[in-house]
Structures are given as C-alpha cells and as structure tokens.
C-alpha cells in the first residue's frame, strides 16, 4: 500500500507539504505510522502540481525511493503551487515496476492516485477488465492494478461524470467483481474527490485558506480529523463534505 496526499490552497513549496512535516510523505516512505499493508514505500514516487493559469499539471515521477533523488530535493525547495497531488509507492505483488506505474496518473488535466490493491491481479480480473472497452485496456499507462483503476475512473469522467460520481461508481463496479482496497484521490486543481475503502485517510481543513487530505497526518497538530472508512470526500478550499459511499 502506498501513502498519498492532495492539497489545495495558498501557494506552498512542494517541500513544505512533502519533506518538512516531521511525519510527512517523505518520512512515510520509510517510516509510515499507520500503514496497514506493507512496511516501506520505496517502489517509486510522484508529485503532480498545477501552475497558476495553466489547467494542465506537471508531473515528476521516479521509479526509486523519494529520499534517494537529489533532483527532487531541489525541485521541492523552489516549486510552489496552489494544487498538489503526491504519492509514495509500495508496489503490489505482480504489478509492474518503474516510473510509469508510479502515481500520480494523469490525463485531461486530472491527477489521480490509488492507495490499495485489487485482489487477483492479473489472472482473476477478467470481470474488472471487461468494464473497459478493449482499446482503453490496451492504453493502460502501466501493467498495474492502479493503472486499471485509473482507466476506469477516466472512462467515467470522459462520459461526463463528475469527479465524486466517477470515483464512487468505480469503487462500486470493482467491488462487485472482486475484493479490493480502494483509497482514491482525484483532482483537477480546483476540487479534490477522494474515497476511503480499506485504508486510512485524514483531512486538515482551514476554510478559506487550504485543505489537505493525506493517508496519515504529517504532524501531531490538533487540526487533523480522520475520515471514516467507506466514505466519499469532496473538498475545496471553502470546505469539505464527507458522505458514506
């Protein structure tokens, strides 16, 4: 299982979000405090962010651990953004290694991350794969369960679903086929949609200023609130709504 986060709000350096918090994503890559599956997150990492006035985010992804990348340390110091999605990866058995399998996945201005696993990859997933047109199945960004989940979400978005609707329907579709853990994050740089389905998620909301959703709190401050399992979260800088999936 991975650890991930999404942020919207006042401009912040990537390092302030990811590297500096004492228990933040950088530390979670080698010492997560709440991870339920797996121990370390060293099978790649990625950060996606939006620049003001540009709806298409940049992504920086690597196949190795976040701490072993000196170039990221430089980027993290100087890149500032109002909207960020980042993840550190612990690959699920059978899934591809490499940069292409590291979140965030992205298309059409969206950024997406999956913390979890779809059981039975790849041999028992015919029913899940059948939910996608073959051409989209052939276009998976990577040979991994998370890339398949992303393709299902993107299919819904392109059919006109809103972000919350696309995530909720994808969780329901997959759960009807097989066992899965599906903590998802999706942003277009203005809103964040998220699900909890089998793992932890916390929120830190400062209405009018910022919102941060993260697999686990980056510090021991009092503002972090847990999101119940099996929830759909919709967040903007103005506030957060949480409803049962």
Catalog residues that contact ligand GLN under the rule CB under 6 A.
1-2, 38, 89-92, 95, 101, 114-117, 144-146
- Of 10 and 68, the one with the shorter C-beta distance to ligand GLN is 68
For residues 101 and 213, which CB has a smaller minimum distance to ligand GLN in the complex? 101
Sign of the CA dihedral 195, 196, 198, 201? positive
Q: What angle do CA 119, 165, 81 make, to 5 degrees?
A: 90
Is 78 in contact with 13 (CB distance < 8 Å)? yes
The distance of closest approach from Cβ of residue 92 to ligand GLN in the complex, given in angstroms and rounded to an integer, is 3
DSSP, res 101:
G
**What are the E-state strand segments in 14-79?**
45-49, 58-62
Q: Order the strands of the 192-196 sheet from edge to edge.
A: 105-107, 110-118, 180-187, 192-196, 231-236, 239-244
Q: Reading across the β-sheet that carries 80-88, which strands appear in turn? A: 58-62, 45-49, 80-88, 3-13, 210-214, 202-206, 225-226
Identify which of residues 199 and 233 has a Cβ nearer to ligand GLN in the complex. Answer: 199
Angle, helices 163-177 vs 145-158, to 10°: value is 130
Q: Least Å distance between CB 1 and ligand GLN?
A: 4
- Residue of 1, 2, 91, 152 marked active site: 2
Is position 2 annotated as part of the catalytic site? yes
Nearest to 168 by CA among 102, 245, 53: 245
Closest to ligand GLN by CB, 43 vs 166, is 43
CB of 180 to ligand GLN, least distance (A): 10
Grouping H, G, I as helix, E, B as strand and the rest as coil, residue 180 is strand
CB 87, min distance to ligand GLN, A: 8
The pair of structure tokens assigned to 135 is 């051409």
Shortest Å, Cβ 90 to ligand GLN: 4
Which of 45/50 has CB closer to ligand GLN? 45
For the annotated catalytic residues, the residue numbers are 2
């Amino acid at each position: 299982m991975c650890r991930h986060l999404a942020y919207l709000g006042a401009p912040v350096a990537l390092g302030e979000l990811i590297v500096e918090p004492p228990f933040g994503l950088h530390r979670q890559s080698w010492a997560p405090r709440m991870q339920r599956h797996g121990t370390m997150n060293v099978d790649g990492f990625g950060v996606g962010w939006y620049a003001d006035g540009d709806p298409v985010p940049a992504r920086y992804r690597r196949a190795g651990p976040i701490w072993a990348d000196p170039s990221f340390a430089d980027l993290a110091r100087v890149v500032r953004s109002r909207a960020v999605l980042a993840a550190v990866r612990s690959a699920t058995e059978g899934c591809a290694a490499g940069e292409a399998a590291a979140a965030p996945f992205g298309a059409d201005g969206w950024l997406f991350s999956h913390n979890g696993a779809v059981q039975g990859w790849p041999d028992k997933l015919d029913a899940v794969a059948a939910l996608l047109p073959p051409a989209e199945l052939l276009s998976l960004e990577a040979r991994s369960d998370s890339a398949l989940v992303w393709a299902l979400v993107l299919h819904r978005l392109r059919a006109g679903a809103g972000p919350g609707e696309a995530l909720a329907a994808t969780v329901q579709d997959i759960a009807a086929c097989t066992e899965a853990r599906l903590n998802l994050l999706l942003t277009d740089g203005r809103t964040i949609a998220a699900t909890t389905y089998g793992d932890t998620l916390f929120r830190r909301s400062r209405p009018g200023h910022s919102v941060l959703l993260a697999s686990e709190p980056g510090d021991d401050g009092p503002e972090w609130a847990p999101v119940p399992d099996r929830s759909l979260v919709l967040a903007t800088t103005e506030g957060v709504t949480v409803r049962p999936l």
